[in-house]
Homo-oligomer: A and B are copies of this chain.
Amino acid sequence: MVALPIAFVEELSALLGDGWSASDADRSAHGTDNSRRTALPDAVAKPRTREQVQAIVRACAAHRVPIVARGSGTSSTGAALPTAGGVAVSFERMNRIVDIRAEDRIAIVEPGVLNGELQQALKPHGLFWPPDPASAELCTVGGNLACNAGGPHTVKYGATRDNVLGLSAITGTGDLIHCGSATTKNSTGYDLTHLLIGSEGTLGLIVEATLKLAPLPPHRASLRALYADVASAAAATARIMAQPNTPAMLEFMDSACIKLARDVGGADIPDAGALLMIEADGDAATLPHAVAVLAQAARGAGLLSLDTAPDEIASEKLWAARKALSPALRSIAPGKINEDVVVPVSRIPELVDGIQALAREFDLPIVAFGHAGNGNLHANILYDPDDAGQDARAQAALPRLFALTLELGGTLSGEHGIGLAKRDFMARAYDAPTLAAMRAVKAAFDPNGLLNPGKVLP
């Protein structure tokens, strides 16, 4: 931490009024996230307009002060922590839904709008924005853009990057740029839109986004399939994904998760080697057919039982085991490292086998669940951070999990991003020339290295 230059503080406090604070309370409130790390900013800025964001970035550039953009702080990677001090830019006052154009299936929003708020506003139009992270009620669209957030519906509707058409952003030099367009096709020059998405505030501060919306399906139905082993569930996943009725969700739980959901979470579910939860969505007229097709694909060697729920109310009961899991995980261990590794669907069995081998080797519960249709599994290492031995074993298991994922042709993160937590593993995911290209892109947008320094790139 360095003291902020007096001229800089005077300029920004004059500009922002009560949107500028260096109080301990504000600094503390903007110095943590869901990674449970802490790093305080020297000051907090709460701009109301893009012009104010631009002025903040220009002042920071002039005085070489680091800038960290911030939504709700739900990141589990430490991406929003001001580890180099400087100014935390909170977008809580830039939270307007600027426009919803139903006939063009787009919404124009400021970054501070909450994902859940946006979905509520879209519902009367019969539309939704597909990214649906577990934190949807709390997290901002800006945060979703920053880490390329996903969620269970990604298997059918895509993640954040697949559902954004255009962005306005302030680069590290304080320039306001406009990428993309309000159209669903664009071959006009370089695609800076997708580049900024997932760059975790290291290339620019997004001040407005043009989102691609999808029609809200009127009906949903669920299937729950239990399998003898992971290989059978993975084979079923491949069968499900090979036919044209793409499920709206295709979620996986391993045997350890099933056991936890029952024994700790109280769910009414028998023992099994693996579970798939499948959601179909669509018209009342065709939903039964979609369910039948998905059930057919779910059937095969190793299937123990298959239950279907034709409507939302019956679905609730089937989803009980999945819903019991998260509280169960919290109750059995005070700490967890929740990763979001991705592998090709065909490699899921090897990933889960490998995770179980790591659990035995490091003598810690490691459970796997998540988005089977995308091969995106949450590997949760459960441990007690106050137990030095457990902590050391958990930290030692983590690089082995990443190494396993990469060996299987996978990648480090499917929806959480890199932040601080996985930064030092980037050199395993990408070779030196590819990292050099990423660094060159970083320098192109942020020549002074002031935007979220120390994140993403090792």
Contacts and interface: CB of A to CB of B under 8 A. Distances in A.
A426 B106 contact: no
A314 to B, nearest CB: 21
Interface in A390-449: 409-418, 422, 426, 429-431, 433-434, 436-438, 440-445
A346 interface: yes
Interface residues of A, number: 100
B189 A418 contact: yes
Contacts of A343: 183
Interface in A326-351: 340, 342-346
A80 to B, nearest CB: 15
Given A181-B411, A238-B103, A441-B192, A417 B187 contact: yes
A184 to B, nearest CB: 5
Contact of A441 (B178, B190, B417, B457): B190
Nearest to A171: B437
Interface string A172-190: 0001111101111111111
A317 interface: no
B244 A175 contact: no
Contact of A345 (B104, B147, B215, B430): B104
A153 interface: no
B444 A181 contact: no
Contacts of A203: 190
Q: Which of A181, A199, A412, A436 has the most CB of B within 10 A?
A: A181
A187 B414 contact: yes
Contacts of A422: 188
Nearest to A444: B440
A174 B445 CA distance: 22
B445 A182 contact: no
A243 B217 CA distance: 8
Contacts of A56: none
Nearest to A417: B187
Contacts of A410: 181, 183
Contact of A187 (B148, B187, B283): B148
A375 interface: yes
Interface of A: 101-106, 126-127, 147-150, 154-155, 159, 161-162, 171, 175-179, 181-192, 194-195, 197-199, 203, 214-218, 238, 241-246, 281-283, 285-286, 289-290, 293, 340, 342-346, 371, 373-376, 409-418, 422, 426, 429-431, 433-434, 436-438, 440-445, 456-457
Given A183-B374, A190-B199, 20 more contacts: A102-B242, A104-B344, A104-B375, A105-B345, A155-B184, A161-B194, A175-B437, A183-B376, A187-B198, A187-B415, A190-B195, A190-B442, A191-B194, A191-B197, A194-B194, A216-B244, A283-B293, A437-B444, A440-B444, A441-B441
